[in-house]
Structure 1
């Protein structure tokens, strides 16, 4: 196979456009002898004559025109590559892999993706749902570029391998069965439910959050039932089997349960993003982080208005 060299092909194309070796040298800021030497070398590598003397000038051979006809497709593709690289450098193109816990996907990631499609259609986001702790394992392994999880399961701010980006302090509501004595009370405190059966997962972040919130209110919650998915948790609340703490961003709400905001010591779960140290400066990743911040700010503003 012939050895193709882009720089030498560019010189040949310029000679076709300028007509003389002297004009080609001036255009490319080379010496005429350097132009001749490069084209002689290209001819030797391709194994065909590219130039033919015509008086004191040279003209392109039929072989040279054939070479340039194929080279044009190469130049066109390289122009496209340059344009895409420039877009990538500006953060207008690129793929970002996001690992996120279940409720963060519809509440934060999906709205951010929609905003990016409108403002920066060249930036694509590939989403992988993962448990809170698993998201950081995926980040450390290089399988995602950004991890969305809860602060309790994020790397510490002192971790040299990651940069943490706070996104949202998500207030927690109380899900009560219909007809519960506190469903219509003027004030609801977490301590008022110390004797209730609580519904939360046997382990993982939601178990930790529920236990920590109840212990901060002065009691250890009795776990009446164990469930990790919001569909199951809220179905049991609706059936009068217990009570639960629920984030406003939970994707499933049922008509039967009663949602009440706690009036004192309202607990929050803190949602954070993490990236590998130094990666936040990557333009496409920075676009995704900005979109997530804007969605989170909108949710925080909505909560303040409510």
Structure 2
């Protein structure tokens, strides 16, 4: 039987995720030469080539991918074992590191932490703000225990590395300047704004969400201005420079910007929580997931309506 080495398999697994030896070394706090040496030793132990040259880089062989496919359940079971041991040794106590995108922190994470202080005071939550896509990189690398992200940025539901939990569908309202002809219209759809100038980021998830929502409504949005921060976006809306989609979960009051509900058929963004497969069995993680679910169920902001002035942060 081959001499299986979990540490070496973890290095191979990380190389698959990170793509290069240098990035793998950085993620595992090793030197590139140590990474290469460990993988060479693993290849010798298993008796199959695991890497092949591709220009100045290396790529995993079919044998390496086969090894990782069949050892993935081992990593899942190790996660479960660690979770069980943590529950055994700590009982209801434990620390859970949460990676969350900016608007999820005040809307979901903070209410969840407050509830946990009352219900499970032994559970400590350490928050790390991260872009929606970055949260999964942190989860994969083991830098966080739970990732809050957008479904649009999540891996496939068939990805065996994660357990994903849908939290909420966050409606997207449209921000209009007060003088806009449709600012106080009885009803409003995205199609009514097809000829308007739109404000959204040049790239990233929010750009993709805005474009997809408009395209689903039958038009391609004309990007009049590019900005990624809500302060800049809403300042431009207030100045009459264009319109923008704003997640309702992020909304707070601001004079000079009219927020309009796009109705039951309006666009939404889906927010999910994820843990590494097997990690959901840990008591502390389970308590945090439950608290986040309660926050999502009870903390939804009221619908925007004609004459509602708000901002987002």
> TM-score, normalising length from structure 1?
0.69
**Runs of 4+ residues over 3 Å off in structure 1:** 84-87, 302-306
d(CA) in 1 for partners of 2:252 and 2:135? Answer: 22
Task: Tell me the residue number matched to 1:43.
Answer: none
Q: Point out where structure 1 has 5 or more consecutive residues left out of the alignment.
A: 1-83
Q: For 1:65-90, what per-residue CA distance to the aligned partner results, in whole angstroms no more than 9, with x for missing partners?
A: xxxxxxxxxxxxxxxxxxx975723x
Task: Tell me the residue number matched to 2:90.
Answer: 88
Matches within 5 A, 1:100-115: 100-115=100-115
Task: Tell me the residue number matched to 2:4.
Answer: none
Task: Tell me the residue number matched to 1:188.
Answer: 188
Task: Tell me the residue number matched to 1:249.
Answer: 249
Task: Tell me the residue number matched to 2:197.
Answer: 197
Contact kept in structure 2, 1:106 and 1:251, CA below 8 Å: no
Contact kept in structure 1, 2:261 and 2:303, CA below 8 Å: no
d(CA) in 1 for partners of 2:105 and 2:264? Answer: 29
Task: Tell me the residue number matched to 1:18.
Answer: none
1:87–1:93: structure 2 CA closer, same or farther, 3 Å change rule? farther
Q: For 1:53-106, what per-residue CA distance to the aligned partner results, in whole angstroms no more than 9, with x for missing partners?
A: xxxxxxxxxxxxxxxxxxxxxxxxxxxxxxx975723xx210000000010000
1:266–1:226: structure 2 CA closer, same or farther, 3 Å change rule? same
Deviation at 1:209, TM superposition (A): 0.6
Partner SS for 1:255 = strand
Matches within 5 A, 1:292-303: 292-300=292-300, 303=302
> TM-score, normalising length from structure 2?
0.67
d(CA) in 2 for partners of 1:211 and 1:194? Answer: 12
Task: Tell me the residue number matched to 2:178.
Answer: 178
Contact kept in structure 1, 2:132 and 2:148, CA below 8 Å: yes
Matches within 5 A, 1:102-251: 102-250=102-250
d(CA) in 1 for partners of 2:196 and 2:155? Answer: 34
Task: Tell me the residue number matched to 2:22.
Answer: none
1:85–1:291: structure 2 CA closer, same or farther, 3 Å change rule? closer
